């Protein structure tokens, strides 16, 4: 009988499975497939049954148009439903640790954490500010306030997502406090301002260091990447007990402003207002020299960085020569610049994540990287706001899948924002497309075989926002007889506040958590039913930039259902009465 080879792609790796002829495969049947060289069963759904067959040598290969299975475990029917449980984390306030490195109002915080726990929240997310911990001088770390805070979180039975925050707090949307990067680093910038990102007018941005100094030994003999590495090493050493106890589920590595992997292209501190296109940030001397050398290497020493033709922070694409319909961005020089600009960002992230992997190797945690949800001008041909931020994304060029491929070598989570937004909520003139952007980015991550996580960009307390998050978290709904093929790894809600804890708001939020948990009770180790968090192994070999860029080929995203199948409110009589009671109560209070 003719054998058929079923091919499963995880990132760029291909695993081949041999089975009976295609005609013998029955949908939803619990087959015990086995690798040809192994006795290990291959789980149900590990390869699809919908696709096109093409000849590969003497066997046939089934190439799929359906999503990959991201849950490589054999589960019982009861466990299958648990695999639909999406953990919910809540971001703690930005100022929970003061600029004087003191835990603010610990007993009041403890009460709020107990309240979160009463809603079956799985954990919290927290910025671990470089500017606070290493404020007194190079390698002079003070973790005492964070150790106190971690202890309280552990005592309250919550997990923790820790952000290595190598950026300033202040100058971005939602920033309510000013926490600069360490003073001794800023003092170096007084004599050498080119350590900071710079726009075409020479305006410096001190909220984080330019990626141009990643490998420059300007900081008491250390490079920027070495400083980040040493900070993470000190964190690991001082938080060893918490790491060993399983308190920390993942480490999100700060890679730019607001902790995001991007350039600071739209700083409110410099006058940017939504939906301005932003400005390129590559005019410090280190990046200028790098671009000049790169252009000369390809035989075009005459090529220059974009100038006034790229417009100002609050311009529209059509008002600039660079981003207009027939603009410079589609010329050979423009394409070269945008490729260089976005590639520098990927290399920057890859190098820092590689150091993070070395530091945390052996710990039972995952690494994560945050990608910004720049949804305005998404429906303009140039995607101008994405381009200035470093995401070279066009209608015919995927700017996010190469990032996902880079993350795949570190087995890192891609954390994406703006999952609460819908297109109609934004001015038509902004050509905003958060729904399509989320669909594109999550699909990019899933196609590269990595886990994706999400968070809301703005604080929201309404059912519409919660239902949009639910739709994106399980875009094809709850699968009651098998794990969802498409499902995010976790959701982080932004953020803990007095307003969230108001009775009506918190009642809706508790319902949201319940729906995110697939109407299941709290599961303390929910990852074991989906993709278990394992001891961190060494990152895979570096992926050549040419191989990363192969992922820019544009493909249709996976289809998302128009509505969540388990919405907050209105999906049963109890929810209807719950919502009605809340509305009546709000009238009289």
Using one digit for the tens of pLDDT, what is the confidence trace for 397-406?
A: 999 999 999 9
The one catalytic residue in 134, 420, 448, 455 is 455
Residue 29's pLDDT band (cuts 50, 70, 90): very low
- Burial of 337-355, coded b for 16+ CB within 10 Å and e otherwise, reads bbbbbbbbbbbbbbbbbbb
Separation between Cα atoms, residue 167 and residue 185, nearest integer Å: 12
Strand pairing report for 88-91 and 491-493: parallel
Question: Hey, CA dihedral for 36, 41, 45, 49, is it positive or negative?
Answer: positive
pLDDT at 478 > cutoff 70 = yes
3-state secondary structure of 228: helix
3-state secondary structure of 193: helix
- Report DSSP letters for 399-418, one per residue: SSHHHHHHHHTTT-EEEE--
- Is 127 part of any known ligand binding site? yes
546 is catalytic: no
- Is 214 part of any known ligand binding site? no
**Stronger pLDDT, 72 or 234, i.e. the higher one:** 234
Cβ pair 41, 33 in contact under 8 A: yes
pLDDT at 97 > cutoff 90 = yes
User: What's the first-to-final CA gap in the chain, in angstroms?
Assistant: 74
- Retrieve residue 359's tokens: 């530091």
- Retrieve residue 346's tokens: 């990927």
Cβ pair 418, 375 in contact under 8 A: yes
Backbone angles phi, psi at 525, to 5 degrees: -130, 60
Per-residue pLDDT reduced to its tens digit, 165-208: 999 998 677 667 999 999 999 999 999 999 999 999 999 999 99
- Is 175 part of any known ligand binding site? yes
pTM for this model (two decimals): 0.86
Separation between Cα atoms, residue 397 and residue 386, nearest integer Å: 12
pLDDT at 59 > cutoff 70 = no
pLDDT at 26 > cutoff 80 = no
Separation between Cα atoms, residue 405 and residue 101, nearest integer Å: 38
The one catalytic residue in 134, 207, 260, 279 is 260
Among the ranges given (314-323, 352-361, 561-570), the one the predictor scored with the smallest mean pLDDT: 561-570
Instruction: Give the residue among 46, 82, 125 at the shortest CA–CA distance from 415.
Output: 125
- Report DSSP letters for 307-347, one per residue: -GGG--TT--GGGSTTTSTT-GGGSHHHHHHHHHHHHHHHH
Cβ pair 446, 558 in contact under 8 A: yes
Residues sharing a CB contact under 8 Å with residue 491, sequence separation 6 or more, in sequence order: 86, 87, 88, 89, 419, 453, 454, 455, 469, 473, 516
Separation between Cα atoms, residue 482 and residue 499, nearest integer Å: 38
Looking at residue 60, its pLDDT comes to: 28
Average pLDDT, stretch 345-370? 98
Per-residue pLDDT reduced to its tens digit, 430-464: 999 999 999 999 999 999 999 999 999 999 999 99
260 is catalytic: yes
Percent of the chain whose pLDDT exceeds 70: 82
- Is 223 part of any known ligand binding site? no
Looking at residue 483, its pLDDT comes to: 61
- Is 357 part of any known ligand binding site? no
| Residue 43 CB coordination number (10 Å) | 19
Separation between Cα atoms, residue 330 and residue 231, nearest integer Å: 41
Looking at residue 570, its pLDDT comes to: 53
pLDDT at 244 > cutoff 70 = yes
Average pLDDT, stretch 225-231? 98
């Amino acid at each position: 009988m003719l054998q058929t080879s079923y091919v499963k792609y995880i990132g760029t790796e291909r695993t081949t499975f041999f089975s009976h002829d295609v005609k013998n495969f029955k949908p939803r049947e619990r087959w015990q497939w086995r690798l040809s060289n192994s006795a290990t069963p291959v789980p149900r759904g590990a390869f699809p049954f919908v696709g096109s067959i093409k000849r590969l040598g003497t066997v046939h290969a089934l190439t799929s148009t359906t999503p990959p299975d991201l849950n490589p475990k054999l589960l019982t029917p009861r466990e299958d439903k648990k695999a639909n449980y999406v953990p919910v984390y809540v971001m703690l306030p930005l100022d929970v640790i003061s600029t004087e490195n003191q835990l603010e109002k610990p007993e009041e915080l403890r009460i709020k954490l107990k309240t979160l726990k009463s809603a079956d929240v799985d954990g919290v997310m927290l910025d671990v500010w470089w500017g606070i911990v290493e404020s007194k001088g190079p390698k002079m770390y003070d973790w005492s306030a964070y150790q106190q805070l971690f202890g309280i979180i552990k005592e309250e039975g919550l997990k923790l997502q820790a952000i290595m925050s190598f950026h300033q707090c202040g100058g971005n949307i939602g920033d309510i406090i000013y926490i600069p990067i360490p003073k001794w680093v800023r003092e170096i910038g007084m004599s050498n301002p080119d350590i900071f990102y710079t726009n075409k007018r020479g305006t410096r941005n001190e909220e984080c260091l330019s990626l141009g100094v990643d490998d420059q030994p300007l900081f008491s003999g250390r490079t920027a990447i070495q400083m980040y590495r040493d900070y993470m090493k000190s964190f690991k050493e001082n938080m060893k007990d918490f790491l060993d106890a399983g308190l920390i589920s993942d480490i999100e590595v700060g890679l730019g402003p607001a902790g995001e992997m991007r350039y600071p292209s739209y700083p409110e501190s410099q006058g940017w207002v939504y939906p301005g296109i932003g400005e390129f940030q590559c005019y410090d001397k280190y990046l200028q020299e790098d671009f000049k050398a790169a252009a000369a290497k390809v035989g075009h020493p005459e090529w220059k960085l974009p100038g006034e033709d790229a417009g100002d922070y609050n311009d529209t694409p059509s008002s600039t020569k660079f981003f207009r319909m027939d603009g410079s961005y589609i010329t050979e020089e423009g394409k070269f610049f945008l490729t260089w600009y976005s590639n520098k960002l990927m290399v920057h992230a890859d190098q820092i994540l590689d150091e993070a992997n070395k530091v945390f190797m052996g710990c039972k945690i995952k690494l994560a990287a945050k990608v910004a949800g720049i949804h305005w001008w998404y429906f303009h041909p140039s995607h101008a706001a994405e381009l200035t931020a470093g995401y070279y994304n066009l209608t015919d060029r995927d700017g996010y899948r190469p990032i996902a491929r880079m993350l795949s070598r570190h087995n890192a989570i891609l954390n994406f924002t703006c999952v609460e937004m819908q297109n109609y909520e934004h001015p038509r003139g902004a050509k905003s497309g958060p729904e399509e952007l989320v669909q594109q980015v999550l699909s990019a991550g899933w196609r590269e075989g990595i886990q994706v996580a999400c968070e809301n960009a703005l604080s929201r307390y309404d059912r519409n926002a919660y239902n949009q998050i639910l739709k994106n978290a399980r875009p094809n709904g709850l699968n009651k007889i098998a794990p969802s093929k498409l499902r995010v790894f976790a959701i982080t809600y932004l953020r803990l506040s007095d307003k969230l804890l108001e009775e009506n708001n918190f009642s809706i939020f508790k319902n949201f958590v319940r729906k995110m948990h697939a109407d299941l009770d709290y599961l303390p180790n929910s990852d074991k039913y989906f993709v278990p968090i394992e001891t961190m192994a060494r990152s895979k070999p570096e992926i050549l930039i040419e191989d990363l860029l192969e992922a820019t080929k544009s493909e249709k995203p996976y289809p998302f259902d128009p509505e969540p199948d388990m919405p907050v409110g209105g999906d049963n009589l109890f929810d209807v009465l719950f919502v009605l009671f809340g509305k009546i109560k709000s009238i009289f209070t």
